[in-house]
Amino acid sequence: MSLTLLLQNILNGLSIGSIYAIFALGYTLVFSILGIINFAHGAVFTLGAYFTYFLMGGATGFNGLLANAKLPIALPFWVAMLVSGVFSGLVGIAIERLAFRPLRQRGADPLLTVVSSLGVALVIVNVIQYLVGAENYTFPAQTFGNLPPAVNFGTADNPIPIRTVQIVIFLVSVVVLAVLTYLINATKYGKAMRAVAEDPTTSSLLGIDTDRFIVLTFFVSSFLASIAGSLVGSSVSIAGPYFGIGFGLKGLAVIVLGGLGSIPGAVVGGLVIGLVEAFVPGEFSAYKDAVAFGLLFLTLLWRPRGLMGRKVIQKV
């Protein structure tokens, strides 16, 4: 493999992997607190991308109930992405209220929550299609201002072009991960969230409002999914209401590889899978998922708790 291709693959892998990491962090946050997987996470990822598109002044296509409609505003990408994150966070809170809390309060089996979150995912995806059709939606060409479409990391004779959007995605992901790490490790809210994750009953006895922090976790989780969806949408367009489903499955692989409930594990897992996928030759792109899940399988044989998962001590 030439140095050019090697560098390109590494940069591509970091870019894809950082998106996986942000997305998987959302899964991890909910899992660490409730011990269950929120299968609606992929649908919120999709929803976030659509919110951003419409907040940027994008119009709907000619299919769906809202055909040929658009908002009277056109926010810059960065603002639209953050506002979309807030909207998606509110949707996340609604999901918690509708699909998780009623079952949790009745002491239902966690498996039932998995099914109810899957139901929410199907509803969201189909409502999107009903409202705005199955068309592709792409953010405007000048999403990132007047930046060139690609940056050459090589020379004029031996170019190593990398799409600007990939570089932006990587940098934004690093910033998001840094902010999230700070929030979780260095703030009162973060400490409370970790306490609830560690032991909800004890933290409740110590005066922490557990339900409030569960709601906050869903908000942050959905905010992250929305950011990831918006970034992917800016890179490859929104490929219809179903485009978050693949990410949903990949996100699962990432958190299991990194270690269920481990925040650093989600980041490491995302980057590892992103890099491994980038090195799968194009003609074998059909096997990217097989490679990712094969790696997961081998890792679990070696470390059943994932790369950075903690051993759970069963207390009697």
Partner 1 sequence: MNRAIAPICSLLLLLASCSSQSPSSKPGTSDASPSSSTTDALPIGVALAQTSNLALLGQESVNGAKIAEQFFRDRVKASGVPVRLVFQDAGGEEASAINAFQTLITKDKVIGIVGPSSSQQAFSADPIADRAKVPVIGPTNTAKGVPEIGPFIARVASPVTVLAPNSLQAALKLNPGINRVAVFYAQNDAFSQSETGIFQQAIKDKGLEIITIQKFQTTDTDFQTQAIAAINLKPDLMVISSLASDGANLVRQLRELGYKGLIVAGNGLNTPNIFPVCGVFCDGVLIAQAYSPEYASAMNKSFREAYTRQYKQDPPQFSAQGFTAVQVFVEALQALNQKSSVKNLSLAELRKALNDQILKGRYDTPLGEISFTSEGEVVQKQFYVAQIQVNSDGKSGRFALLK
Residue numbers at the binding site for partner 1 (CB under 8 A): 4-5, 8-9, 12, 16, 61-63, 68, 122-123, 125-127, 129, 133-138, 140-141, 149-150, 159, 161, 163-166, 232, 235-237, 239-240, 242-243, 246, 278, 280-283, 285-286
CB of 252 to partner 1, least distance (A): 17
| Distance in Å, CB of 67 to partner 1, minimum | 8
| Smallest separation, CB 300 to partner 1 (Å) | 26
Toward partner 1, which CB reaches closer, 76 or 140? 140
Q: Which is nearer to partner 1, 102 or 148 (CB)?
A: 148
Give me the least distance between CB of 236 and partner 1, in Å please.
Answer: 4
Residue among 270 and 306 whose Cβ is closer to partner 1:
270
CA 52, 55, 61, 67 torsion-angle sign = positive
- Of 63 and 204, nearer to partner 1 (C-beta) is 63
**Shortest Å distance, C-beta 57 to partner 1:** 11
Question: Considering beta carbons, is residue 138 or 181 the nearer one to partner 1?
Answer: 138
